[in-house]
Amino acid sequence: MNRRATWTRFYLPKWQGWPKWSTGSSVLGPLAEVTGYDKVWLGRQVDDPEQAAIIILWASAEALRNFQGSPACAEFLKDLPDSDIVSGGLFQRLSLNDAESMDTTVSPTVSRFPSLHWHYSDRKELEVEGRVTLTAFLVPYTGGPDLEQIRFSIVKAFKGFVPADCEDLRPPPPLSRDSIPFGGQWPGLVAFLPKPDGLVWAWTDTGDNEQWQLPGQPVPANENGSGQMVVCQFRLWNGLYGATRQREEASAKNPLAKESWETVVSNVIPPVTAWEQERWDIQVAPSYLRPLIDEEDEDEAL
């Protein structure tokens, strides 16, 4: 899978719905004339709504690089103020404020477009919207062929996990052959597949690792292996199996939920050296919302 996602943080007043672009009349501003991306979202932090992000799903890493080298990118960043970005440890690397602590080979433009590589191609990355819990984990990684093994090991550690007091939100188990009565109708192979668990996983590209060094840690000289890798987990509270926005809000206030997170993180192999969590409300750009009535149907109605 070659898709990439960028998460460009900026300051957006509460009263302002979308950025005010100096060029173009579209809600997407300079992006309206850009090719190579599949979807755009706007996110706001739940606990600090003026901390916002433009999230772009790129068709490929090459499309992202082409945009970063284009005049449209400069116009795009000009209208996304970063002077009031507030974030901690790991998430601080998603802002330009820390460009001084990064390797000089990383340009300020690139530093505002940290690149996330999705775990596998099941298109769940297209569903990251609504109320979302974003958790970033810092894990050891020195490069080499064991990358996929590390990724699957981390995902496996969270298999079946839901925060405390959310046990009823677990997806039902897949159908087993024993549960089909003798002579009963064959339900099809899909019924035996694991149910969606509301989790979407992404990873920083290897070449971006230097963007995620914790404050006070030296920046590595080796481009391919900083010794650390950031893993991002997106937990969707989109109503699936009862995982609603209201349940997320209750979970965020529950100290037992925090303890359950700490427990599952402590069991991750390779061990997590640091982790942070943010709550986001994410909406898709209006350009990608399907109309209630198709144009052809509307013409027929007239």
* pLDDT tens for each residue of 53-65: 999 999 988 999 9
Provide the pLDDT for residue 237. Answer: 93
Helices (H), the chain: 61-68, 71-78, 108-111, 147-157, 245-253, 255-266, 295-301
| DSSP 8-state symbol, 284 | E
Provide the pLDDT for residue 53. Answer: 92
Is the confidence at residue 165, as pLDDT, over 70? yes
Residue 252 and residue 279 in contact, taking contact as beta carbons nearer than 8 Å: yes
Output the DSSP codes for 33-51.
G--SEEEEEEEEESSSTTE
Task: Classify residue 123 by burial, with Cβ atoms within 10 Å: 0-12, 13-18, 19+.
Answer: exposed
Is the confidence at residue 212, as pLDDT, over 50? no
Provide the pLDDT for residue 98. Answer: 34
Provide the pLDDT for residue 149. Answer: 83
Strand runs (DSSP E) across 82-178, as ranges?
A: 115-118, 130-141
User: How far lies 221's CA from each of 51, 207, 227, 231, in Å?
Assistant: 32, 12, 11, 21
Q: Rounded to the nearest 5°, which phi and psi values hold at 232?
A: -115, 130
Provide the pLDDT for residue 173. Answer: 65
Least confident residue range of 14-18, 92-96, 124-128, 172-176: 92-96
Is the confidence at residue 293, as pLDDT, over 60? no
- 64-86 pLDDT, tens digit per residue, is 999 999 999 999 999 998 766 66
- 229-281 pLDDT, tens digit per residue, is 888 999 999 888 889 999 999 999 999 999 999 999 999 988 998 899 999 99
Q: Name the region of 144 (left: φ>0; alpha: ψ -120 to 50; beta: rest).
A: left
pLDDT bucket at 158, cuts 50 / 70 / 90: very high
Whole-number average pLDDT of the chain: 77
The strand pair at 130-141 and 199-204 is best described as: unpaired
Provide the pLDDT for residue 119. Answer: 75
Residue 163 and residue 251 in contact, taking contact as beta carbons nearer than 8 Å: yes
User: Higher pLDDT residue, 189 or 249?
Assistant: 249
pLDDT bucket at 203, cuts 50 / 70 / 90: confident
Cα three-residue angle 91-206-53, rounded to 5 degrees: 30
